[in-house]
Amino acid sequence: MTNWSPKILAIRIHSLAATFNRRYHRATALHRPSGPPKLSPYDVNCILRANEHTQEFFGGSVKSYDSNQLASNSPIEDSRSEASCVHTSGLLVGIFDGHGGPACSQVISKRLMRYIAASLVPPDDLRQHMLGGAQSFSFLSCHNDKARTLEFVSEIKELYEKSFNQFANELTNTTLAGFQMHQTLENAFIRLDQDLSREAIEMPSLRTMSVAMSGAVALVAHIDGPHLHVASVGDCSAVLGTVTDTGQWVAKKLTNEHNSDNVGEVRRLLSEHPATERDTVIRGERLLGQLAPLRAMGDFRYKWTREQLEQLVVPQFGEQVIAPYYLTPPYLSACPEITHHILTPRDKFLIIASDGLWDTMSAMQTVHLVGEHMYGKAFLQPLTLPKQDITLGEISQMLSTRKAGLQKKPLDRNAATHLIRNALGGTEYGVEHSKLSHMLSLPQDIVRLFRDDITITVIYFDSEYLPTELSHLMATEW
């Protein structure tokens, strides 16, 4: 046995350990998955900002809005739409979250807001527009250029225009005295859903059936002066960001999710079917054990009669298209739940988003993030001095304030992008680049396990347009 000195022994042990580590890492590297590529901050920003859009307004209660979306599914199943009504005042903003494919969400994102816009025109004026040859798209002025370029192919466009003309002509026979905003929004949702059904039944084709067999939840906000109406089916959500007298942010939810977690919604659904189906209408927290939202547009496999499904759908899609225990349809409703809110100067913004955002963040978290973003975004603008005389001391104070504020300067000008960045990369210590890079570089075959499509629109209100007295003057229902 060799007698090693302590120093030589330590060197020898260190050398053997280094050799072992090299061989171990070389061997395990052959079996180690390569993993997703690392994204640079520049790459991350390009991905996050690819679909963002900002629109500013002059006059009225809406100052601007920021919108963005990030896909998880390929193709993305979320859609969005933002437009001003041409023949009436007001802004329409919508989020549409599809399932079973993107067909239904893409179609209703364009058609639903046209139905609503036409419904808001007084009957006599609407009659004149229709006699003048008005088409559905002429009732809206779209603001998102990317959304505006998505037009329907010619044969399906003619079918959709025919349905719209029938609906608009029926509206001309109503009376202005009977106008109720709640009823108007409800009728637009239900009528479009009925048209989607009729079109697929009367003119079955690959396009009409793909819309009918897929589905979408929908949330539409209409803002006209101090009046904010939100109509929703499904699990998209709207949250109002309000500031208190003491400068604290308050998050006010204006929607309820229509799923099995909503006790009132479950009771409504069960009351519409025999007691013998109490254990089968909702199974595994899903409608008939299959669908998560309990209200949606499309999805006629949960609305048509069994005879209609057997005649129209089974030959093309097979017997499995009929859900187990399908006994007393319809099981699914397209009737929206509607909230009316009178805006005051304390209401600063409205966040509407698909559930891809709410899966990762609470309403209060989003309001805090947008509120901080509002403050920090001011420091992205160049410093401007007032026109009146100003002392060196005042300039020094302004520079000190700006220096402190620059620490809160956001990376993104767009608040929707800011929310997505925090939703995917946020930690208790702030946004972590490695986490964000990982979430954005997940392979397509597994990304849906970690995150859903995310679509967000943040609408900013003009506090100067909404005097405090307005909340008292406009307290009655519109």
pLDDT tens, position by position, for the chain (478 residues)? 445 555 555 555 556 555 555 554 554 444 444 555 689 999 999 999 999 999 999 989 999 999 999 999 999 999 999 999 999 999 999 999 999 999 999 999 999 999 999 999 999 999 999 999 999 999 999 998 664 444 566 778 999 999 999 999 999 988 766 789 999 999 999 999 999 999 999 999 999 999 999 999 999 999 999 999 999 999 999 999 999 999 899 999 999 999 999 999 999 999 999 999 999 999 999 999 999 999 999 999 999 999 999 999 999 999 999 999 999 999 999 999 999 999 999 999 999 999 999 999 999 999 999 999 988 765 445 556 666 677 777 767 756 665 555 555 679 999 999 999 999 999 888 899 999 999 999 999 999 999 999 999 999 999 888 764 454 444 444 4
Longest CA span, the chain: 110
Beta strands in 281-429 (DSSP E): 282-283, 286-287, 297-298, 337-342, 347-353, 426-427
**What residue segments make up the domains of the chain, in order of their start?**
18-258+332-461
Judge residue 372's burial from the number of C-beta atoms within 10 Å of its C-beta, 0-12 exposed, 13-18 middle, 19 or more buried: middle
User: Closest by alpha carbon to 45, among 440, 446, 450?
Assistant: 440
Q: Are 117 and 140 in contact (CB under 8 A)?
A: yes
Selection from 225, 241, 189, 184 nearest residue 91 by Cα: 225
CB contact at 8 A, 365 and 338: no
Two tokens, residue 220: 């539409």
**Can you tell me the distance from the alpha carbon of 139 to that of 159, in angstroms, rounded to the nearest whole number?**
18
**Which H/E stretch holds residue 402?**
helix 392-406
What Rg value do the Cα atoms of the chain yield, rounded? Answer: 27
Q: Please state the CATH superfamily assignment of the domain spanning residues 18-258+332-461 in this structure.
A: PPM-type phosphatase domain (3.60.40.10)
Indicate the pTM of the whole model: 0.85
